A = this chain, B = another copy of it.
């Protein structure tokens, strides 16, 4: 809790507010900044995963000393938080289209959310630990509003949202963790076959070989939405 800017909230609209001393940088590197640190952290995370992010490595990539980072950032945890929020940015509520098809709307929102996280595979497993950034709240608000307008009762609303949240998080984390290496799963499935008697059902259905991630996600989401759908008795 010093005079460092780390804890301070950023400008509301950093893009439009003019810089106080605009003609300040004489030459060379634009020097360190919070934005640059976060952007580079995302790059590094994308390239090397959660374990690959290192304050030292981050500083190297920025061409600065390690300790210089700590002027702009509280600590490593802070870097994670900022990187996560940066990645979950979203365009805000889209045009207020009064679609009648709430199911398509919800499915689209959640597929977009998932796609965003899969573009940065480290983000999904990080998210539940720090769920409260403004971007996530915005997404939850939009989801909530859509469901409410669709006729989900107030009594069911929170359960509905958390159900969708749970489903999306579980699906995305699993997909990102099982990762691109199909070999592992093929090997696992073969192990099933070798074990023969013990797992006949999942062996027969080839559960571990299912690689239509997008289709499976959508199918399960449909199951859930079926159950969620407000009964029009």
Chain A interface (Cβ < 8 Å from any Cβ of B): 125, 128-129, 131-132, 137-138, 140-141, 144-145, 148, 154, 156-163, 165-171, 173-174, 177-178, 184, 188, 191-192, 198-202, 205-208, 210, 216, 219-220, 222-228
Contacts and interface: CB of A to CB of B under 8 A. Distances in A.
A142 B225 CA distance: 25
Contacts of A177: 128-129, 131
A76 B100 CA distance: 53
A141 B199 contact: yes
Nearest to A154: B205
**Copies of this chain, whole number:** 2
Given A201-B144, A227-B227, A166 B167 contact: yes
B216 A227 contact: no
Contact of A157 (B128, B145, B205, B208): B205
Dominant secondary structure at the A interface? helix
For A129, A167, A168, the residue with the greatest tally of chain B CB atoms inside 10 Å of its CB is A167
Contact of A228 (B132, B165, B169, B223): B223
6 A-B pairs closest in CB distance:
A170-B170, A163-B220, A226-B227, A223-B227, A166-B170, A169-B170
Contacts of A210: 158, 162
Given A160-B223, A163-B167, A225-B227, 8 more contacts: A128-B173, A128-B178, A129-B177, A157-B205, A158-B216, A159-B216, A161-B202, A170-B170
A202 to B, nearest CB: 5
B171 A202 contact: no
A109 B167 CA distance: 18
Given A216-B159, A227-B224, A131 B202 contact: no
Contacts of A158: 205-207, 210, 216
Contact of A173 (B144, B161, B169, B200): B169
Nearest to A137: B199
Contacts of A132: 184, 188, 191, 208
A50 B159 CA distance: 29
